[in-house]
Amino acid sequence: MCVHMSQMIETRRDGDYAGMGRTNVTNRGFTIIEMIIVLLLMAIMLGVSGYLFVVGLHAWDSGMTRTGIREDISYAMEKMIRDLKETANGSLRQYSSIIHTIQYDNLSGNTYVLYLYNADDATLDSTYGENLYDLHKADIDGGDAPASGDGVLILRDLVSPDATAPETALTINGNQVTLDVVVQRGDETVRTRTKVRPRNL
């Protein structure tokens, strides 16, 4: 009995030492296919993030452009409405041969005209062949019409009155002025329309 027990102990010790030279691998690394899948997923995530960033940047840029246009239109409209409301009685008129112009006298007796200007147009006439125009206000005391480009700039980048809708229009109907202003910058277009009735008419 004692001999048998000691043999078992020696056998167990021999077995323990016999397994010490071997290494059992229980943890495996990534295979090439797994690595490729991970890289593809990361590339997709980066691509989607980049696309969303570009779209957001474009939306931000468009919003800033539209905000700038609205601010410019608001300032120009306020200026024109204030001037037109102070028009002297009986002085509101358009040139017979030039449409989209507003001529008026203020209460001090000075004569002004609002007209559309483009440097490629040699003279003021009824054809608006260019794409964009600037709105000018000119003092025409002592003259029938301003020279093209005279006066101060009120608003820039107005869509031509001869363009397909929406187009800019400055018109008089009786004692009422209609200012239909369409401004285009890049891909952004903003339209504002208002009617002004001078106080003294």
Q: What is the pLDDT of residues 76-107, one digit of tens each?
A: 999 999 999 888 887 888 877 788 889 998 88
Average pLDDT (127-154) is 84
Q: What is the pTM of this model?
A: 0.71
pLDDT, position 22: 56
The residue type at 175: N
Structural domain boundaries, residue 158: 61-196
Between CA 140 and CA 148 the distance in angstroms is: 12
pLDDT band at 2 (very low <50, low <70, confident <90, very high): very low
In this structure, is residue 6 part of a structural domain? no
Average pLDDT (173-201) is 89
Between CA 89 and CA 91 the distance in angstroms is: 6
In this structure, is residue 37 part of a structural domain? no
Q: Does 133 have pLDDT greater than 80?
A: yes
In this structure, is residue 66 part of a structural domain? yes
CA dist 152 → 16, 29, 155 (Å):
102, 75, 9
Take residue 152 and report the two structure tokens written for it. 């101060």
Total tally of structural domains belonging to the chain: 1
In this structure, is residue 151 part of a structural domain? yes
In this structure, is residue 45 part of a structural domain? no
In this structure, is residue 50 part of a structural domain? no
Average pLDDT (27-51) is 88
In this structure, is residue 201 part of a structural domain? no
C-beta of residue 165 within 8 angstroms of C-beta of residue 51:
no
pLDDT band at 3 (very low <50, low <70, confident <90, very high): very low
Q: For a pLDDT cut of 70, what percent of the chain falls above it? A: 83
In this structure, is residue 4 part of a structural domain? no
Top-confidence residue, 6 or 55: 55
pLDDT, position 124: 74
Between CA 201 and CA 198 the distance in angstroms is: 6
